[in-house]
Structure 1
Amino acid sequence: MTARVLIVDDIPTNVKLLEARLLAEYFDVATASSGQQAIEICRNENIDIVLLDVMMPEMDGFTCCQILKQDPQTAHIPVVMITALDQPSDRVRGLEAGADDFLTKPVDDVQLLARVKSLVRLKSLSDELRARARTSHQIALEDASGSEYGVRVEQGRILLVDTDRRRAERLESYLRETHEVTILTEPAEAVFQISGGDFELAIVSMSLQGFDPLRICSQIRTVDQTRSIPIILAAEEQDRPQIVKALDLGVNDFIMRPIERHELSARVKTQIRRQRYTVELRESLNSTMAMAVIDELTGLYNRRYFERHLAMVLAKAEEQDRDTALMLLDIDYFKPVNDTYGHDVGDAVLKEFASRLQRNIRGVDLACRFGGEEFVVVMPDTDMRQAQSVAERVRSAIADHGFQVGLERPLNITVSVGLALNEQENDTPESVTKRADMALYRAKRAGRNRVVADAA
């Protein structure tokens, strides 16, 4: 995962140390020596995350963070405060200023990199939603790029998972004045409970008796209805190695015991604010999207939308020197399905195919119906290895289980897939699509039911 990281610190030695750590992990790094300079860079350049020192002359980190989060142009950029201050009140002040996390010096390298990667993933998904809203031309630009900082954070619906009821009730007492908290002492039911409970946040204890907390988090992340729910871990000091794994699994945040109520409250507000902002973006996009850009049969975006969106994604990728992958899919032997069983069955196959495709790509990917039995997926910030992995998952999801389409027996359906990257100079949507189409043609010639990557 690539990202452009802005380091803000008035001490050059601190900047150099952080810069060296990040460059070693292949991040792109920008630097600023003051809060005002950081604000200007964020407004004028593409920054994915800010590492912000608190103690600086003229403008401290708290003020700088607050300005960034109140400006719709920069509010979506994650901010991690890094400082020698270690009091709970300092962390709370930073979180209430809008910071996404607060790390104390000296910063553990593994923990820092895990937090950066986790927050960049979240920003990537938010950026993609904002980009889709702009592409639609039905949503005003200011609505699509509005600030999450002004989102209401009261009366959050929280599920608290802990096998120790007394410990859970102590946490619940910290939150119940502002939020609706449900305690679950049977972790095995967590996914079922979240799916049916309209929750906005899960708090999971790392000290579950007889259960692996990371397994619970992983299950939440792999189910359609719950995968977007933010998760906070309540952890002990000895849990730090597992916390790094948890962040890689998609856990959003953690808090260390003994838990200070104001810090917990601030972290909960941050997650609920971001969750509600994302939901608002999705609902706004869905409710105002004109039928002109939606394929009526499958519910996916149509070719017209795809062409506009790909042009914008490729322009951004070229500007930031990032990979974009294109996946072109064609259902194998689809004409005989229509000829043998009729168009009603053919339509049912297309709808089920679209559903499986949507379930097996990533949240940041955009699936569209290209025409007939052809589909296409735009994959931002994706190299060929990642694209092949997703494509193979899709191919397997189609081929491994028959299609239940109202016939006596399930239909066996397969798909051929062609992949291409924006790796040639002056690539256009047409040139990348043509290379993906050529790769798809080779997949068909080689026997179908396979993934072939463009050899450019």
Structure 2
Amino acid sequence: MSARVLVVDDVLPNVKLLAAKLTREYFNVITASNGPEALEMVRRESPDIVLLDVMMPGMDGFEVCEKIRSNPATMHIPVVMVTALSDGADRVRGLEAGADDFLTKPVNDIALFARVRSLVRLKMMMDEWRLRETTSGQLGVLEPTGTLNSESFEGARVLVLEDSLLDLGRVAETLKRDHGHVMSADTCAAALERALGDDLDLVVISLTLMNEDGLRLCSQLRSHERTRQVPILLMVEEGDLNRVAKGLELGANDYISKPIDRNELLARARTQIRRKRYQERLRANYEQSLSMALTDSLTGVFNRRYINAHLPRLLERAIDNHKPVAILLFDIDHFKVVNDSYGHIVGDEVLKEVSSRASRNLRTFDLVARLGGEEFVVILPDTDADAALTVAERLRTRIADTLFKVSADVGEIPVTVSIGVAVGGRLGDTAEGLIRRADEALYEAKRAGRNCTVADPPASALMAP
């Protein structure tokens, strides 16, 4: 996963070392040497994450972080403080200033890369929800949501997996300062049963269990729809960075080292609970207000009206962030024959199943819309031409390789689609131009025999075998 990383440090060798490590991992690195310069870079370059030194002359890292968090335009950018300070009070101060994590110099590469990738994934998801809310607000069907810091962390329902009675007592007592509902479990099976039966705001998982692997529960929580979005805070032994990295890769949101500092635990728990509630508010507000206005009543995916409002903003953001955005324009081959042969009820069944297969085979922040008739569009943020072709081919084969069950006497019918691919993100690109290029590629796919994918500029069509 690539991302733009802003490295802020007043010591040039530190900047060069960190930049070299990140560049080697294919991150795009920009730098700043002091607080005011960092704030200007944040405003102008819109980085995906900020690695921020604390001890800088004039404006220190704590103040820079607070200013980033106080600006609605930048408050959602993840901030990781990188510093020689290792005292627990300094970590708590950084977390309370709005930092997402606190890494101590010399920075361990495993912890650094795992944390950056985890936070960038989170930012991409939150960016998409915020952008959709902005689009909906422009259409006059959605009231703006508040800020992350305006969310309450009180009264949360927290589950703790820990088999050490001493550690469990310390953690539960600390969390009860904020949260009246702290539940516990001493096995992964018991914890999973509780999580699936309750609406939780946070799950705290110990990775020092005597007879079980807490990462197994982490994986299980992310595999169930009911618990997929619940924040996970890991408790780990000091220095156990390999398991921390694995946990973040599996979907954990944060971690804290034992022995547990009570104030740090509270700060990290509050951050995760606020973030979950803010994300839920975004999603609920968005879904409730847009359900009728911006979705296709037959298939349940977005409609042309939403695309006309959303795509220009998405493309504008892609150009500003120097990142590509791809669209797939596809329609159902010989759909008129389906309607003429089996009736419009079967035609509607095919349209619904096509949209369902498309939605199931995309990322959570990708977008599917029905433009009208049998024509659909898929929007893929942060996706280059090669990746877009791969997605298009996967989508085409998922539709073509399995017969469609229909209510007609025949029982099942074959359905295929033709797909045109176009990628934008360069200065001067427009939404209309991007759709036109994809439409031209789609036309070429039909001329090539249908059931294939063609990219703009036209290359050799990717034909069905």
- Normalising by structure 2, we get a TM-score of 0.86
Match of 2:463 in 1: none
Name the SS for the 1:63 alignment partner. helix
**CA offsets, 1:413-445, max 9 Å, x none?**
444433222277743323332333344445556
**CA offsets, 1:197-222, max 9 Å, x none?**
22222222324566554444334334
1:240/1:211 CA distance change after superposition, 3 Å: same
Name the SS for the 1:228 alignment partner. coil
CA distance in 2, matches of 1:70, 1:139: 26
Check conservation: 2:45, 2:321, Cα contact below 8 A. Answer: no
Deviation at 1:290, TM superposition (A): 7.4
- Normalising by structure 1, we get a TM-score of 0.87
Match of 1:422 in 2: 424
The residue correspondences of 1:61-210 to structure 2 (distance < 5 A) are: 61-136=61-136, 137-138=138-139, 143=144, 146-162=146-162, 167-179=167-179, 180-188=181-189, 193-208=194-209
| Sequence identity (%) | 51
Name the SS for the 1:368 alignment partner. strand
Q: Does 1:355 align with 2:356?
A: yes
Name the SS for the 1:351 alignment partner. helix
CA distance in 2, matches of 1:451, 1:194: 43
Check conservation: 1:163, 1:187, Cα contact below 8 A. Answer: no
Deviation at 1:164, TM superposition (A): 5.9
Which amino acid letter does the alignment assign opposite residue 431 of structure 2? P
2:438 to 433, 436, 439: 436
Match of 2:462 in 1: none
CA distance in 2, matches of 1:218, 1:395: 30
CA distance in 2, matches of 1:452, 1:233: 45
Match of 1:3 in 2: 3
Which amino acid letter does the alignment assign opposite residue 240 of structure 1? L
**CA offsets, 1:39-79, max 9 Å, x none?**
34333442222111112233322222222212222211111
- What do you get for the CA RMSD once the two structures are aligned? 3.1
Match of 1:330 in 2: 331
1:243/1:405 CA distance change after superposition, 3 Å: farther
The residue correspondences of 1:254-403 to structure 2 (distance < 5 A) are: 254-289=255-290, 291-395=292-396, 397-398=398-399, 403=404
Relative to structure 2, which stretch is displaced further, 34-43 or 158-167?
158-167
Check conservation: 1:71, 1:147, Cα contact below 8 A. Answer: no
1:116/1:173 CA distance change after superposition, 3 Å: same
Deviation at 1:176, TM superposition (A): 2.5
Deviation at 1:107, TM superposition (A): 0.4
1:223/1:104 CA distance change after superposition, 3 Å: same
Which amino acid letter does the alignment assign opposite residue 63 of structure 2? T
- Give ranges in structure 2 of 5+ residues lacking alignment: 459-465
- Give ranges in structure 1 of 5+ residues lacking alignment: none
The residue correspondences of 1:22-33 to structure 2 (distance < 5 A) are: 22-33=22-33
Which amino acid letter does the alignment assign opposite residue 39 of structure 1? L
Name the SS for the 1:235 alignment partner. strand
Name the SS for the 1:143 alignment partner. coil
CA distance in 2, matches of 1:139, 1:176: 41
Name the SS for the 1:158 alignment partner. strand
Deviation at 1:318, TM superposition (A): 2.3
CA distance in 2, matches of 1:331, 1:140: 31
Which amino acid letter does the alignment assign opposite residue 434 of structure 1? R
Check conservation: 2:323, 2:425, Cα contact below 8 A. Answer: no
Q: How many residues align?
A: 455
